[in-house]
């Protein structure tokens, strides 16, 4: 027994059980095509192939705090390239969702962008393209918010001058209450893990 590497399977089991699409990684043969095809791989600490390896090795902390799991552009390249038909993108989204639920913040700005995005979908049933960046910018506090607003003002103004910014606030869809009931039910029924 002396020469055995002690892999702790408990984290892998947790991922298979609680993470959306988590059980798909059982099929991974670590070929690395996902990493090779990913547009943002050079900015990742661990490309998807290594994330899957770390899960098998029980490295919970490294995986859930890895920025790679939130750097997915959702381009589906890994999904169409994977020779084992693993929906790699879905696994990364599932891991990012789970990490946030567990109190990790793999990427600060993308996390607040995504959370505000969903809040708006839930609240209105639609996205308000003016209101969303404003909420994201100010989610880190007033000073940061003003800085970010000023930084992107030129883009916003140009869009507005070219009729590409709705001037009126987005209204709620008529069925927003019933939509919320459906989504609440799904939140309870689906995977994704309870908050830590």
Partner 1 sequence: MKYFLYWGCSLEGTGANFLVSLKPVCEALGMEFEEIEDWNCCGASVSYAGANDLAIKVLNARNLAIAEGAAGHDIVAPCSSCYVQMIKVNHEIQEDPELLRQVNECLAEGGLSYGGGIKVRHIQDVLYNDVGVDKIKARVTKPLNGLKVAGYVGCQSVRPFGEYDSVNKPVVQDRLLEALGAEAVPFPRKIRCCGSGIFLPEIDYCMGLVKDILEDALNHGAQLISTVCPMCAMNLEMYQGRINEAYGTEFDLPVVYLSQLMAVAFGMDLKKDAALNYNVIPPEGILKAAVG
Residue numbers at the binding site for partner 1 (CB under 8 A): 20-21, 39-40, 43, 70-77, 79-80, 87, 90, 93-94, 96-97, 100, 107, 109-115, 117-119, 121-122, 125-130, 133, 136, 152, 154-155, 158-159, 162-166, 170, 173-175, 178-179, 181-187, 189-192
Query: Phi and psi dihedrals of 16, rounded to 5?
Result: -60, -40
Q: How far is the CB of 188 from partner 1 (least distance, A)?
A: 9
Question: What is the 3-state composition of the chain as percent helix, strand, coil, each rounded to the nearest 5?
Answer: 60, 0, 40
Q: What is residue 174's three-state secondary structure? A: coil
Using the minimum distance from each CB to partner 1, give the nearer residue, 8 or 185: 185
- Shortest distance, position 1 Cβ to partner 1, whole Å: 40
Q: Which is nearer to partner 1, 56 or 191 (CB)?
A: 191
Q: How far is the CB of 136 from partner 1 (least distance, A)?
A: 7
Q: How far is the CB of 68 from partner 1 (least distance, A)?
A: 12
Instruction: Please answer whether residues 66 and 46 qualify as being in contact, where contact means their C-beta atoms are separated by less than 8 angstroms.
Output: yes
Q: 8 or 85: whose CB is closer to partner 1?
A: 85
Burial of 193 by CB count in 10 Å (0-12 exposed, 13-18 middle, 19+ buried)? buried
Cα–Cα separations (whole angstroms), residue 159 to 7, 35, 40, 120, 166: 53, 35, 27, 21, 10
Q: With respect to partner 1, which residue has the nearer C-beta, 29 or 157?
A: 157
């Amino acid at each position: 027994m002396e020469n055995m590497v002690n892999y702790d399977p408990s984290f892998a089991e947790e991922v298979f059980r609680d993470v959306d699409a988590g059980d798909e990684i059982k099929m991974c043969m670590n070929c690395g095509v996902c990493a090779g095809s990913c547009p943002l791989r050079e900015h990742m600490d661990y490309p998807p192939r290594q994330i899957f390896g770390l899960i098998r090795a029980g490295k919970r902390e490294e995986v859930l705090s890895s920025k790679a799991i939130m750097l997915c552009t959702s381009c589906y390249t890994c999904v169409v390239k994977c020779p084992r038909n693993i929906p790699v993108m879905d696994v990364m989204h599932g891991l990012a969702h789970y990490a946030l639920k567990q109190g990790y913040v793999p990427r600060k700005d993308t996390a607040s962008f995504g959370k505000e995005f969903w809040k708006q979908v839930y609240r209105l049933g639609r996205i308000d393209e003016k209101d969303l960046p404003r909420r994201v910018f100010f989610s880190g506090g007033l000073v940061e918010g003003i800085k970010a607003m000023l930084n992107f003002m030129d883009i916003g103004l140009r869009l507005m001058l070219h009729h590409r910014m709705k001037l009126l606030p987005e209204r709620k869809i008529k069925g927003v209450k019933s939509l919320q009931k459906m989504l609440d039910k799904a939140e309870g029924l689906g995977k994704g893990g309870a908050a830590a």
